[in-house]
Amino acid sequence: MGYTVAEKILLDHSDADRVEPGQVVMVRCDVVLANDVTGPVAFRQMEKMGTSAVFDPAKVVMVADHFAPAKDERSAILIKRLKDWSLEHGVVFYDQGRGGIEHTLLVQEGWVVPGSVIVGGDSHTCTHGAMGAFSSGLGSTDIAYCLVFGEFWQAVPGTIQVTVSGEKGHFVTGKDVILAVISQIGAGGGTGNVLEFVGPGVQSLSIDERLAVSNLAVEAGSETGIFPADDQTAAYLDGRTDKVWQPVHSDPDASYSRRIAVDFDRLGPLVAKPHNPENVVPVSEIVGTPIHQVVVGNCSNGTMTDLRQAAEMVKGKRVHERTRMIVVPATQEIYRQAVAEGLVDILVAAGASISTPTCGPCFGGHTGALAPGENALATINRNFKGRSGSPEASVYLGNAYVAAAAAVAGEVVNPAEVAS
């Protein structure tokens, strides 16, 4: 019996002679990641372990992104703790103004290559599966162990194969692919599995869009969402990394726990209604829902692709008077490129505000928290009650076209109507 991509990577990073779903193995890390929320907690656990030594400083990355820029003294202390620890231990630290949102940033900076193992103190570390890596979010105690020993225990997951076919329509994006998957299998349907995306339709998904797909794999309960490396992956990494890598593909006789399909020819823009990412409907079912805040950005959809889509929708138009629009480029590099392309000018002229890269609006920490009774349409990854501010607010999830169209209309609308 052959192996899936995930099984091959785990086998290569462990001392096991063979692997199968459910088997527990110790897995070696290629990169260990933490942020200003999870890093300080991990450091305290290391102190309880009686050590502060890092297994390999060249494989550790710290990113200030959740409370950056610091909104108060407490968050400033967290960021300072992260920075001081990083300097003390000689690990890479991306500070405000020099990095961005961790998951997009690590891919952009060439830390993630096919066949590698990435662990992070954040559930959306699964994003890195877009590059053909095995990536998983761990708790801070496990991250502390990884920082000291460079390994973690992992129950070998099964694999759900997702075949993507058909031709992608203009206003359909990778966001719609993963929402379609979650609607099929449910918020817990991927538990104990990874999602592996294959098929001819995958070729129409850029690396940016693959990041969005993999980012929401955890919203289906999955360990990660993996795109086997292809020519697009190689082209993206060219000149971006000096790491040696080889593409990893599943064997023809690999065993899958389930197979599902997404057909672009039958897929239109989707929205996840409050208060669960599995509550997915076509945009047409909620047209007319008033929207008070639009957010385009975060680790799932703050790429150049998303900013271009948003600018396309609002160019020459104005954000509706009852709606505010917040755009969050995921990294400083993306921000600069958006300025160079004129996208920032288009968005600001329409009435959008542009934020420095931050996770703030996504988890309701700052820079865009919602008030009671407000509705938001956002490109973020979670819409649980109270996730983005008041528990009496409602969050709808959609792609950048859908979000920006709602900003112009002041309500949920088919993006084709705004574009016409």
What Å distances lie between residue 261 and 67, 162, 232, 398, CA to CA? Answer: 38, 5, 22, 20
pLDDT in tens, 269-279: 999 999 999 99
Of the pLDDT bands very low, low, confident and very high (cuts 50, 70, 90), residue 365 is: confident
The rounded distance, in Å, linking the Cα atoms of 77 and 21 is: 42
Which residue type occupies 181?
Answer: V
Secondary structure (3-state) at 195? strand
pLDDT in tens, 225-234: 999 999 999 9
Q: If we measure between CA atoms, which residue out of 284, 355, 287, 342 comes closest to residue 316?
A: 342
What Å distances lie between residue 379 and 25, 79, 113, 271, 401, CA to CA? Answer: 35, 26, 25, 10, 9
Do residues 375 and 291 touch, judged by C-beta distance below 8 A? yes
The rounded distance, in Å, linking the Cα atoms of 400 and 301 is: 7
H-helix or E-strand containing 303? Answer: none
First and final C-alpha spacing in the chain = 53
pLDDT at 168: 95
Report yes or no on whether pTM surpasses 0.85: yes
Q: What phi and psi values does residue 415 have, to the nearest 5 degrees?
A: -60, -25
pLDDT in tens, 366-389: 889 999 999 999 999 988 888 888
pLDDT in tens, 111-143: 999 999 999 999 999 999 999 999 999 999 999
Does residue 420 register a pLDDT over 70?
no
The rounded distance, in Å, linking the Cα atoms of 215 and 209 is: 10
Q: How many angstroms from the chain centroid is the CA of residue 147?
A: 23
**In whole numbers, what is the pLDDT of the chain averaged over residues?**
96
List alpha helices for 287-365, DSSP H. Answer: 304-314, 332-340, 343-350, 360-363
What are the structural domains of the chain? 7-262 (3.30.499.10), 271-419 (3.30.499.10)
Secondary structure (3-state) at 214? helix
Does residue 189 register a pLDDT over 70?
yes
Say if residue 95 is exposed, middle or buried (CB neighbours under 10 Å; 0-12, 13-18, 19+): middle
The rounded distance, in Å, linking the Cα atoms of 99 and 63 is: 7
Token reading at 210? 């693959």
